[in-house]
Amino acid sequence: MSREHCATLYDLPSLYDAVVVPGPCESFYRKLACSTGGPILELACGTGRLTIPLALEGHEVVGLDASYPMLRAARAKAEAKRAKVEFVLGDMRRFDLGRYFALVIVSCNSLAHITANEDIVECLSRIARHLVPGGLLAFDVVNPSMRDLAQCGHTAERSETEPDRSYVSGSKELIAYDPVQQVQILKWRFEALGRKIPPVAPMRLRAYFPQEMPLRLALAGLELAARYGDFDGRRFIGSSPNQIYVARAARNAS
Ligand SMILES: C[S@@+](CC[C@H](N)C(=O)[O-])C[C@H]1O[C@@H](n2cnc3c(N)ncnc32)[C@H](O)[C@@H]1O
């Protein structure tokens, strides 16, 4: 298969589900959802890993994603589990749902798919416009490691969640990193017992450094409420695996 015709990981939702199995982020976001109540919007909701459990807990949930195959898989899973979720095909850089939410979630480093500055500015300001006064935005992005970014050709086993190794395992190789644009190109390789896994197209992911997110949130009119270094709520430090942000919309927002 030529490189141009390579599927992306998000064209292959069953592969995605085999690699990204339930992880600690779920209980973090579920607890937060209990504190805010609904309605809840998950941007880049994928195959419903979060939206479906949230809906089963009784929340009113909308999930937006840019990938039709991921959404089709999400709809099928929701139907099988009798979970009521409204799934919307859309781009988180320029969505307008014409309604307000108590909580907006962007999980699993999904904001890293937004690589251009103007797009992240637009996305955060649209999120702010979709929040009720005092509503929360919660998201996690990877905490970039300078050592890893400096090592092109370095291969790492997937570590954010533990793959179901009886089915498939994944490793990622950093092919290139542009320190000016803060964009890395990663190549995923998947192996499965007894099953052929098609190669997937390299992924472009933005590296967001710790000082820029609080500033970006403030520019979008969101007040930083908490920043954690992992999903158990540990304090964010330089070696934390993740940057997990909770930000609040102004209470007097119109
Ligand atoms: C790492 S997956 C996360 C899926 C889900 N949140 C989860 O936790 O399993 C990233 C998702 O972002 C979606 N995505 C990428 N760019 C997007 C965009 N501009 N707008 C909306 N969704 C996007 C992809 O289709 C994919 O489903």
CA of 212 to the centre of ligand 1 (A): 21
Domain that holds residue 172: 146-205
Q: Which of 12, 75, 110 to mutate to test the pocket of ligand 1 (most atoms within 8 A of CB)?
A: 110
Q: Is residue 222's pLDDT more than 90?
A: yes
State the total domains in the chain: 2
What is the CATH classification number for the domain harbouring 13? 3.40.50.150
- Decide if pLDDT at 91 tops 50: yes
Dump pLDDT digits (tens) for 118-171. 999 999 999 999 999 999 999 999 999 988 888 876 666 554 444 454 566 777
**Are 212 and 113 in a shared domain?**
yes
For the CA of 110, the nearest atom of ligand 1:
10
Q: What is the mean pLDDT of residues 17-23?
A: 80
Residue 102 lies in a domain: yes
Q: Are residues 24 and 103 in the same domain?
A: yes
Determine which residue's CA is closest to atom 26 belonging to ligand 1. Answer: 46
Probe ligand 1: pick from 27, 77, 113, max atoms within 8 Å of CB?
Answer: 113
- Those residues with Cβ within 8 angstroms of residue 109's Cβ, 6 or more apart along the chain or in another chain: 140, 141, 142, 160, 205, 242
What is the average pLDDT score of the chain? 89
Q: What is the mean pLDDT of residues 91-105?
A: 98
Percent of the chain with pLDDT over 90: 70
Of 58, 52, 42, 44, give the one whose Cα is nearest residue 136: 42
